[in-house]
Structure 1
Amino acid sequence: MQFNNSLIEGVLIKRYKRFLTDVTLLNGEEVIAHCPNTGAMTGCAEHNMQVWLSPSNNPKRKLNYTWEIGVTAKGHWIGINTNNANKVVGEALQRERVAELVGYDNIRPEVRFGHENSRIDFLLTGVGQKDCYLEVKSVTLLESGQGYFPDAKTVRGQKHLRELAAMVEQGNRAVLLFCVQHTGIDSVKVAEHIDPKYAECFKQAIAAGVEILAYSCVIDEQNITLNQRLCVID
């Protein structure tokens, strides 16, 4: 996924009220940027970290910048914008870069499904193939060398796991793909210490036949690209 506009470099002052970020640009100007990440962002919003913002010329927007990337003191690149995970995975699906998900004729994003008023990130269909319901989750939490999801309690995430399990029970294929937007993470584990209910739903989903995948990303100030499969510790 290539960014539409050239990103602007700056230094993070602070993130607050979940969706707001104060940043000092390299020219010394202080700006307020939108933070498109509803999670706790533990370790991803450190004072003075290098950040990259995408500019907007939309006159209807209240904020002219969106926080896209952060770089930690250890040099790890992080995709801050969780909305980009679907774009990155969607591009990889079109280019058949996810070996476990090739061979489908149609890839439809944001399709309504299930009994809990949900939308699946991607519905993959093809002649002679079971319909495949694919849910994508962005992973950015790194603790003691281990990548975790989620970084905050997620009732919505629990619902998605139940819906995926139900799709398998109906004879379809269901896949949960962790899009790891943190270059310091080399394996993913469910954060039972943060959301035990999600962990329980995760175990039930696996028992029901939901497939679990995790893929790393190559990240820089111009692109985010799905890279290689990572280990999921269940």
Structure 2
Amino acid sequence: MQYGKILPARFLARPNRFVARVEAEGQELVCHVKNTGRCRELLVPGATVWLEESPNPNRKTKFDLIAVEKGERLINMDAQAPNQVFGEWAQSGRFREGLTLLRPETTYGSSRFDFYWKSSKSRGFVEVKGVTLEEDGVVRFPDAPTLRGVKHLEELVKAHEAGYEAAVCFVIQMGNVRWFAPNDATHPEFGQALRKAAAAGVEVLAMDCTVTPQTLTMGKPVPIKL
């Protein structure tokens, strides 16, 4: 995926989960944060962040905060980006061979999954999760308890039992990582649900990304430790 006009800034503070105060081009700005997660280990005072300028002149905030530098690592933290890059990757034929349909936001049971797909050989549902939490090259999900995430995994199991293929894809919004694991310390129930889903036949994928200030591109599979 490609962003529009980009500029660097220095992170100052985050008054609430929707906005941040930054310094860019010699002035202090208030920008929209495109991730409502905690991101405490990313948004630290003085960190270099990257902003996208909105073309909409009627917006309250002119810029969106989309990426942050953590040491030498550039991490995309746009919560909408994982679905977009997964969609581009799947449409290119690298998710399922012979893909004939990839429909976003499709309801099954009491959940709405990110995508429903059909191919010449299969049909199924996939849920996409963006991953921004990293420590010593190990990436984990979630960074905060997610009852919704647990529910999605349970519904994927039900869909698989009903004859659909089912998958969860963790889109790691950075590159050069060692492995992916569920964040049992923060939300043990999610880790339990993920292991149970994998044992029941739900496919678990973890893919890294190539990140630049202007782009996010799906990369290669990352080892998974459940």
TM-score with structure 1 setting the length: 0.92
Q: 2:178 and 2:124 mapped to 1: Cα distance? A: 26
Structure-1 residue corresponding to 2:86: 89
CA distance in 2, matches of 1:36, 1:123: 25
Q: Percent of counterpart pairs with the same letter?
A: 32
Q: How does 1:1-234 map to 2 (within 5 A)?
A: 1-3=1-3, 5-25=4-24, 27-72=25-70, 74-98=71-95, 101-114=96-109, 116=110, 118-127=111-120, 129-234=121-226
- From the two aligned structures, give the one with the greater strand fraction: 2
**Letter paired with 2:118:** T
Task: Give the counterpart letter for 1:111 in structure 2.
Answer: T
| Paired letter, 2:88 | E
The 3-state SS of whatever aligns with 2:196 is helix
| Structure 2 Cα separation of the partners of residues 173 and 34 of structure 1 | 37
Q: Secondary structure at the match of 1:136?
A: strand
Deviation at 1:184, TM superposition (A): 4.9
Please give the alpha-carbon distance, in whole angstroms, between the structure 1 residues aligned to 2:59 and 2:108. Answer: 31
Classify 1:6/1:60 alpha carbon distance in 2 versus 1 (closer, same or farther; 3 Å).
Answer: closer
Query: Cα offset for 1:60?
Result: 4.0
How far apart, in 2, do the equivalents of 1:186 and 1:79 lie?
17
Give the match's secondary structure for 1:233.
coil
Q: Runs of at least 4 residues of structure 1 off by over 3 A? A: none
Q: Which ranges of structure 1 fall in alignment gaps of 5 or more residues?
A: none
Give the distance between the partners of 1:42 and 1:169, measured in 2 at CA: 38
- Output the CA distance in 1 between the equivalents of 2:15 and 2:130: 20
Q: Is this contact kept in 2: 1:15–1:22, CA < 8 A?
A: yes
Structure 1 SS opposite 2:154: helix
Unaligned runs of at least 5 residues, structure 2: none
Which amino acid is 1:108 matched to?
R
Q: Is the 8 A contact 2:97 2:119 kept in 1?
A: no
Query: What secondary structure, in the 3-state scheme, does the structure 1 residue paired with 2:155 have?
Result: helix
Counterpart CA distance in 1 for 2:176 and 2:15 is 24
* Alignment size in residue pairs: 226
Deviation at 1:33, TM superposition (A): 0.9
| Alpha-carbon distance in 1 for matches of 2:178, 2:223 | 7
How far, CA to CA, are the matches of 2:31 and 2:176 in structure 1? 25
CA distance in 1, matches of 2:114, 2:7: 29
Verify the 8 A CA contact 2:129 2:168 in the aligned structure 1: yes
Q: What is the distance in 1 between the residues matched to 2:107 and 2:157?
A: 16
| In 2: Cα distance, 1:122 partner to 1:186 partner | 27
When the two chains are superposed, the root-mean-square deviation of aligned CA atoms in Å is: 1.4
Shift of 1:47: 1.4
